[in-house]
Amino acid sequence: MTASKLSWVEYLSRIPRGMRIAMLVAIHAALFTLAYLAAFVLRFDFSIPASHMDAMWAGLLPMLAVKLTVFGAMRMFQGWWKYVSLYDVMALTRALLAAAGVWLALNVLVINPTSFPRSIYILDFVLCLFLIGSTRGGIRLLREMMANHSSDVPKVPVLIAGAGDTGEALMREITRNRNIGYRPVGFLDDAAYKQGLRVHGVRVLGPIDVLPQMAEKHGVQEVIIAMPSAERKVIRRVVDLARRSDITARIVPAFETVVEGRVSVQQVREVAITDLLGRAPVKLDTQAIGRFLEGRRVLVTGAGGSIGSEICRQVMRFNPDKLVLLDCAETPLFFIHRELKSHHANLEPCIADVSDAERMEAVFKEHRPEVILHAAAYKHVPLMEAHPSEAVKNNVLGTRIVAELADRFNANTFVLISTDKAVNPTSIMGATKRVAELFVRHMAHQSETTKYCAVRFGNVLGSNGSVIPIFRRQIKDGGPVTVTHREMTRYFMTIPEATQLVLQAASFKQGQLFILDMGEPVKIMDLARDMIRLSGFTEEEIPIEISGIRPGEKLFEELALDHEDLDRTEHKKIFAGEDCGELSPKILERLEKLVEQGQDGDDNGVRRTLRKIIPTYATEDATPDNVVKLAT
């Protein structure tokens, strides 16, 4: 940057630190003197008696010495060129009170002037607070005004939807950073009491419904949604109004806001389909999760998958002693290890198949995990319908091997990641996951050292098994977007929300089955329409086609069986299912037979045995017509 383009703030920043401190001390001394003399002038109505004039001049130097010493000791000569906030005003007040106390004690106990009015202390304090506070605030205001007017960055006129804490924080950052390319022209908020108010000098122009008129009036190009906890219908309304006004809708994501504890323009992004689900931010008992994970050796199976990799990211937040990432797919394992290795010194990637008992035993011997988060599973319903034996080997045998090793090696906790498709299953995938649940809950009664539990939830947006990537690719290819049935509905949550709640549920001391609150079910047809609109297209440009229900699919999913009475837990989004007890010898015998049939590749035998173990597994023939009848 050339010297001619340097701002006055940048010039000041280049002054040596010692010289800057000296300048600040001199400015404060001048303000202290001004406040002190003004206090005498006001006290005597602009006519100071001669008897008090001598006391005034005699007390000037002691006052300056005391205040400059106190301010120096309390580090008040630092960090005020650029910013000022309520915190700074409070710190200034404390420093002035301390200085006033020392000055009063010095005057009374040492100097003891008889003609020094006591009211001067109060007047001096008030005037000092006003002069120094207004000077600091004025410098910040002047800097921000000059920065915004002198910036070479093009400013995009924007509206901010939401005049709450998030909108205020966003506005504050935009105001103080001249390199941010936004120029807010107003806020929109449905709260009646906020209408006409100003936030950092920018007015609340009206409710959200006036967006089209305000966009046209002020030449707005974008609207930023700053309402992290807003309901789905509110965000959709803003998005629809923005689309009709031909402007871009962006959003401050709820998850980032909560996790990071701050709001930044860097977080602002275009509205995604996850935002239209309206999931409220998850509030966690981080202390309980910390006690559960901190300093522990943690093993995550299926660590390269979408759920497993996010579990690894969340676990890292709680400082485990060691994190073992296990997967049989080398490429995704390589990338999640590469992503996380700079954040944790003791990170171990392991290539292993959970259905390989010998290999898994070697992993347990080497790493001695204390917490096992078992996310490895085959999840794609149609594929598992075509390969039942493989589903059994991975979902049933793999779970049994890892669960039994957890007991043998005295692990503290074993957690199975389950699915709503395990409830009254109509698919091989759902039935095998139900068997895995039953075995894990059986182990809870068998083990004396390990706590076993399963956490059941529905579809996860953006996961490898989710419909979202499929829709996104179909839209990119120009359509059509295929939906299997007009009435198909599913429960959805985001990957971060699901994994956080898994860790929260696992931290509970009691319980064998935990079921996550998935909110309201969403129609897949509505999801497809939203994605088309968010991509900037209409249904005429990207048509939706009904492809028919695939083998094993339901029209809707359930989260609990009829006999599973749910109890509330410490967390409002986590429910506990009833204890199913130990498996009978007959069921254990059938489970052993199921595993043998899976290893032998006996697909028909697998289907027959699954029906015997899971009475609610209801598919006789995996045809669309039968699946529809069973699902409805």
Chain segment 506-564, per-residue pLDDT in tens: 888 666 788 777 667 778 888 888 778 777 777 788 888 888 877 766 666 655 544 44
Which residue in this structure is represented by tokens 């000037």? 60
User: How far apart, in whole angstroms, are the C-alpha atoms of residue 166 and residue 306?
Assistant: 29
Asked whether the predicted pLDDT for residue 598 surpasses 90, the reply is yes
Asked whether the predicted pLDDT for residue 146 surpasses 70, the reply is no
Q: What is the mean pLDDT of residues 404-427?
A: 91
pTM: 0.62
Chain segment 45-90, per-residue pLDDT in tens: 888 887 788 778 888 888 888 888 888 888 777 655 555 566 677 8
What DSSP string runs through 335-357? HHHHHHTTT-SSEEEEE--TT-H
Q: Which residue has the higher pLDDT, 8 or 47?
A: 47
Which class for 55: exposed (0-12), middle (13-18), buried (19 or more C-beta within 10 A)? buried
Asked whether the predicted pLDDT for residue 12 surpasses 60, the reply is no
Which residue in this structure is represented by tokens 């050796």? 297
Asked whether the predicted pLDDT for residue 253 surpasses 60, the reply is yes
Q: What is the mean pLDDT of residues 457-477?
A: 75
Please give the pLDDT value at position 626: 37
Query: CA geometry: angle at 519 spanning 518 and 522, to 5°?
Result: 95
Report the relative pairing of strands 198-199 and 202-206 from DSSP bridges: antiparallel
Q: For the chain, which residues make up each domain, given as ranges?
A: 3-149, 156-277, 286-464+492-520+557-631
Which CATH architecture does the domain made up of 156-277 adopt?
3-Layer(aba) Sandwich (3.40)
Query: CA geometry: angle at 13 spanning 9 and 19, to 5°?
Result: 120
Answer CATH for 286-464+492-520+557-631 from 3.40.50.720, 3.40.50.1820, 3.40.1550.10, 3.20.20.60: 3.40.50.720
Give whichever of 122-131, 236-245, 325-334 has the largest mean pLDDT: 325-334
**E strand map for 210-327:** 222-225, 248-251, 269-270, 297-301, 322-327
Asked whether the predicted pLDDT for residue 3 surpasses 50, the reply is no
Active site residues: 421
User: How far apart, in whole angstroms, are the C-alpha atoms of residue 529 and residue 535?
Assistant: 10
Q: Among 301, 263, 280, which Cα is nearest to 494's?
A: 280
Angle between helix 524-534 and helix 467-476 axes, rounded to 10 deg = 40
Contact 609, 588 (CB under 8 A): no
Least confident window among 91-95, 262-266, 590-594: 262-266
Confidence of residue 298 (pLDDT cuts 50, 70, 90): very high
Look over the chain and give the mean of its residue pLDDT values, rounded to a whole number.
80
